[in-house]
Amino acid sequence: MEVIESVQKMCELGAAWRRDDEITVALVPTMGALHAGHARLIEKAKSLADITIVSSFVNPLQFTEEKDLADYPRTPKEDKKLCKDLGVEYFFAPSGEDMFPPGFLTTANVSYLSTKLEGESRQGHFRGVCTVVLKLIHITQPDYAIFGHKDAQQLVILKHMVRDLCIDVNIEAIPTVRDKDGLALSSRNVLLSDEQRKQALCLHRALKRVHFLVSKQGILHRGELLQAVRSHINSAGDQIELDYANIVSRTTLEEIDLIESGNTLVLVAARVGGVRLIDNTRL
């Protein structure tokens, strides 16, 4: 595996592969602190393309709190080992200066969709995500870029950006990867104490409850389902502070009053101790 730190060098390789019709490239954008969820993204990338690039960049533009950025876990040595073991060809780890040099002024914003849900709680977050992902795509020029369903709103927004701007890349997604007990894998999970981790399970359990209410009790109304989600999370323990729970269309992120099978997302976000966690399920 080759480790590349220079944006210029990565641009040159990306451009050369793009010119070669025989070679396909998949990009797995990450902020490092890799876990089994990232391993699945990498496996997906490897199943699709000849060359897999894992980018590792803790993107300051998408953090809305200094402390969150400072506390974000960083494990570069372990990340490189995991990628090497999984047969990744290129590990792209640019510096902040190289990605966003002094005088950097340009941003990408998918308006409206970016103001809902996560965007309401973390203003400017998706502008940061879109800017860095667009730049990573321009640098590496991949045929595929791979993301997880765990960041459901991010996925909808990035697909929209690619469509709106006619970017020649296929966005692929894999289901959320969970620990045995159901907790969605996230780089932030390592920041949870044992007790907080236990209480964090309420997010997944609340989403499972929705599945039960819909499939076994035929409850399809947003209000009733959200009430069940909120009361489950609010009674889960003293460390949990629910940020939002909502039921929306998978494609437009508009709130829906009645579950539409095949087009529904139930999303939750909560602070567990100081750690912000999100989860969602598809119906």
Residues at the interface with ligand PAF (CB under 6 A):
29-31, 59, 62, 129, 132-133, 151, 154
Other CB atoms closer than 10 Å to residue 44's CB: what's the count?
20
Side-chain-facing half-sphere of 92: CA atoms under 13 Å: 26
Give the residue with the Cβ less far from ligand PAF, 129 or 225: 129
The single-letter DSSP state of residue 60 is: G
Identify the CA nearest to 185 among candidates 73, 260, 20, 96: 73
CA distance 208 to 161: 31
The reply to whether 35 belongs to the active site is: no
CB of 20 to ligand PAF, least distance (A): 26
How are strands ordered across the β-sheet holding 275-282?
A: 240-249, 264-272, 275-282
Which CB, 129 or 169, lies closer to ligand PAF? 129
Which residue, 171 or 226, has its beta carbon nearer to ligand PAF?
171
Minimal distance in Å, beta carbon 148 to ligand PAF? 7
Q: At closest approach, how far in Å is the CB of 31 from ligand PAF?
A: 5
Comparing CB distances to ligand PAF, the nearer of 30 and 239 is: 30
Please, is 109 exposed, middle or buried when counting C-beta atoms within 10 Å of its C-beta (0-12, 13-18, 19+)?
middle
Which residue's CB is nearer to ligand PAF, number 29 or number 239? 29
Q: What is the dihedral of CA 213, 215, 216, 221, to 10 degrees?
A: 40
**Residue 242 C-beta-side C-alpha neighbours within 13 Å:** 20
In angstroms, the CA 21 to CA 6 distance is 25
Q: Which entry of 38, 125, 204, 232 is annotated as an active-site residue?
A: 38
Catalytically annotated residues:
38
